[in-house]
Amino acid sequence: MNIGDIRKRAQGVKAGTVSSLELDYARGILRAHRGDIRSALIVVGLCGAADDALLIEPYLRGPERDVHGETALKALVRYLGLVDRYRSLLRKLIMSPTDLGWMDSRMSAIHLVKHYFKGFRDDELGCELVAIFCNPSDQDQRSARGALVDILGIRDELGDPFGLELEAGDADAGYIVKMARQRFNCHGGLH
């Protein structure tokens, strides 16, 4: 079996479905910790069930967490839809000023934060995203911008909705901050 081909079908970029035998093959890769782990994480995340979290979680903590931590977190939160189970981890990763557990863990969590806020309110975390966005020296500033735009649902209201032209300055920053401060009851402004 070719796990890369299975992954493409799981992602919908190639025609066809993933069979239960192929899903078990991907699970076997995760159990053995050998082979194309990234593809196996994606396949199990997209096609598996909640109890597959036990196969995925070791990649958040194990020796290969710098390589697979982001994909594992995405598989658990976005693909398997287990945000309730991992909400405290997402929060911890975002609230930390440095990466915890694996390289770029904070950015990984910021990219998933829109799932955190679906049907859930956390003004403190929302205000932390605003603070990250307002800090030009924060390496996760652009990620925070994208997350705030998604959470607020204001992409259609922005001149540069995807933040592709930020080198000349972010003309939308004031509006994003204003809307986020209102949504999350934050105080303060751009630094």
> Which pTM was predicted?
0.89
What pLDDT was estimated at residue 166? 66
The domain spans of the chain are 1-86
CA–CA gap between residue 84 and residue 94 (Å, rounded):
16
Tens digits of residue pLDDT in 127-173:
999 999 999 899 999 999 999 999 999 999 988 878 777 666 788 88
What's the confidence (pLDDT) of residue 159? Answer: 82
Rounded CA gap, 158 and 152, in Å? 12
DSSP symbol at 75: I
15-18 contacts: CB < 8 A, separation 24 or more? 18/43, 18/46, 18/47
Q: Which residues contact 86 (CB under 8 A, 6 or more apart)?
A: 73, 76, 77
CA 26 to each of CA 11, 42, 56, 136: distance values in angstroms, whole numbers, following the listed order: 14, 9, 11, 41
C-beta separation of 110 from 129 below 8 A: yes
